[in-house]
Amino acid sequence: MSGSPLRVAVLGAGTVGREVVHALLDRRDELASADGASLVLSAVAVRNVERAVAAGYPASMVSDAPAHLVADPDIDVVVELMGGDEPAHTLIAAALSMGKSVVTANKHVVAHHGAELEATARRTGGVLRFEAAVGGGIPVLGPLATDLAANRVERIRGIVNGTTNFILTAMTDPASPFEFEAALAEAQRLGYAEADPSGDVEGLDAVNKLVILARLAFDAWLDPAAVATRPDGADGPAGPGITTVSLADQQDARRAGRIIRLVATASAGDDGEIQAAVLATALPLESALGRTSGVRNRIEVDAVPVGRIGFDGPGAGGAATSSAVLGDLMAIARGAGSTWGARPSATGPTGDPVTRPDRPVLIAASGIRYPIDD
């Protein structure tokens, strides 16, 4: 180990925060790199101090004032795990403007404020790492920025929302008849769903993740609002995300040797035009994406010269996501810099308007025209 210990404040002690705090308290030695600074948990911001102390958090560490922890000169690294837009956005921006290092799992903040936060970090020398924002425990942003840096990415696509994939899988399980509400309740119980799961089922969580993947693949921050989420229906656009996918539609897809999954896709044309969409899509049953079931995520990168690379693993949940957060903390301790690594800067306003991929469709009995992919 080298250098002074890095003093860490964790903001938020929910599903992921709890796992990160326990790891920092119980596994500190395992989290020390041979060639990096050690990590010391100094503070945890919680909603309710009394309840946190009763749950076993050291009283000397807990606070209900996250802004004070961010401003505290004794804190070197801020780990933002509160979720949602505000106050998380302002806290992250404040830490970066002070030149601090930030680790976050907050895909909403990174997708909606990425250009601004990147500009601040580049200006102050602050570090922003967000591997946990996409794919839960799957390392995908780091490899895109570093190991695949010699490639030109042509397309990136994947199943990036565990909650919807859990529900769509339940719809196709012959042993458990489809019950949308029951499957969603189970996903919530297991800690996969967002606090407000409408963002999961309407595809907005996947849109945020696609915007972040596109930043690493194409060096532009897309406007989340420009990403399509509704397939065409018989009389105009169908519902967003998986809100109008029915058991009958899944059965229609199955008769065609396919399965409907929520797929996020972004690609760049030769002219630089970016196409991006998050759509319920009919995939071959036996394809790698078609076989990706339950809460698993899978992200595929088509790039030149490497060809197709697949990243597969647990896409949500406290334990899996804490793996990515802790990995980012260890990277900071080793001086690894921000998640975008040496990729070109993307600090301006949103790039070119996003268009929707034009693909053949499977027309279900409901009239919904599900795009077909391989």
The count of residues interacting with ligand HSE (CB under 6 A) is 11
Which one among 162, 231, 240, 290 touches ligand HSE, defined by CB under 6 A? 162
User: In the set 142, 315, 318, 351, which binds ligand HSE (CB under 6 A)?
Assistant: 315
| Listed ranges 40-48, 112-120, 190-198, 228-236: which one lies at the site for ligand HSE (CB under 6 A) | 190-198
* 45 versus 324: smaller Cβ distance to ligand HSE: 324
With binding defined as CB under 6 A, does residue 311 bind ligand HSE? Answer: no
Please state, in angstroms and rounded to a whole number, the distance separating the CA atoms of residues 333 and 24: 13
Three state DSSP letters for the chain: CCCCCEEEEEECCCHHHHHHHHHHHHCCCCCCCCCCCCEEEEEEECCCHHHHHHCCCCCCCEECCHHHHHHCCCCCEEEECCCCCCCHHHHHHHHHHCCCEEEECCHHHHHHHHHHHHHHHHHHCCEEECHHHCCCCCCCHHHHHCCCCCCEEEEEEEECCHHHHHHHHHHHCCCCCCCHHHHHHHHHHCCCCCCCCHHHHCCHHHHHHHHHHHHHHHCCCCCHHHCECCCEECCEECCCCCCCCCHHHHHHHHHCCEEEEEEEEEEECCCCCEEEEEEEEEEECCCCCCCCCCCEEEEEEEEECCEEEEEEEECCCHHHHHHHHHHHHHHHHCCCCCCCCCCCCCCCCCCCCCECCCCCEEECCCCCEEEECC
> Which residues in 64-83 contact ligand HSE (CB under 6 A)?
none
Of 156, 310, 129, which is closest to residue 220 (Cα–Cα)?
156
CA 176-180-181 angle, to 5 degrees, is 110
Q: Does 193 bind ligand HSE (CB under 6 A)?
A: yes
Answer for which of 136, 240, 290, 351 binds ligand HSE (CB under 6 A) is 136
CB of 368 to ligand HSE, least distance (A): 22
Tokens of 158: 């994947």
Shortest separation between residue 281's beta carbon and ligand HSE, angstroms:
17
Single out the segment in contact with ligand HSE by CB under 6 A; choices: 72-80, 110-118, 155-163, 232-240: 155-163
277 touches ligand HSE (CB under 6 A): no
Given 42, 104, 120, 161, the residue binding ligand HSE (CB under 6 A): 161
Q: Which of residues 205-224 bind ligand HSE (CB under 6 A)?
A: 205
Q: Note whether 202 binds ligand HSE by CB under 6 A.
A: no
**Spatial contact of 374 and 284, defined as CB atoms under 8 Å apart:** yes
- For the CB of residue 237, give the shortest distance to ligand HSE in the complex, in Å: 23
Query: Choosing from 18, 209, 258, 261, which is the catalytic residue?
Result: 209
292 binds ligand HSE (CB under 6 A): no
Whether 107 sits among the annotated catalytic residues: the reply is no
By CB under 6 A, tell whether 168 contacts ligand HSE.
no
Q: Which is nearer to ligand HSE, 43 or 211 (CB)?
A: 211
Which position among 104, 106, 163, 265 is part of the footprint of ligand HSE (CB under 6 A)? 163
* Minimum gap (Å) between residue 154 Cβ and ligand HSE: 25
Q: Which residues pair with 309 in a beta bridge?
A: 301
Q: What minimum distance in Å lies between the beta carbon of 194 and ligand HSE?
A: 5
Among residues 19, 76, 118, 200, which is the contact residue for ligand HSE, using CB under 6 A?
Answer: 200
* Nearby residues of 289 by Cβ (< 8 Å), 6 or more positions away: 157, 158, 159, 261, 263, 283, 298, 300, 373
User: Which is closer to ligand HSE, CB of 126 or CB of 136?
Assistant: 136
Q: Contact region for ligand HSE (CB under 6 A) — 27-35, 160-168, 239-247, 300-308? A: 160-168
Exposure string of 114-131, with b = 16+ CB inside 10 Å and e = fewer, is bbebbebbbeeebbbbbb
Q: Which is nearer to ligand HSE, 203 or 315 (CB)?
A: 315
Smallest gap from residue 206 Cβ to ligand HSE (A)? 8
Stretch that binds ligand HSE, among 122-130, 192-200, 306-314, 365-373 (CB under 6 A): 192-200
- Residue 192 engages ligand HSE in binding (rule: CB under 6 A): yes
Residue ranges in contact with ligand HSE by CB under 6 A: 136, 161-163, 192-194, 200, 205, 315-316
Q: Enumerate the active-site residues.
A: 209
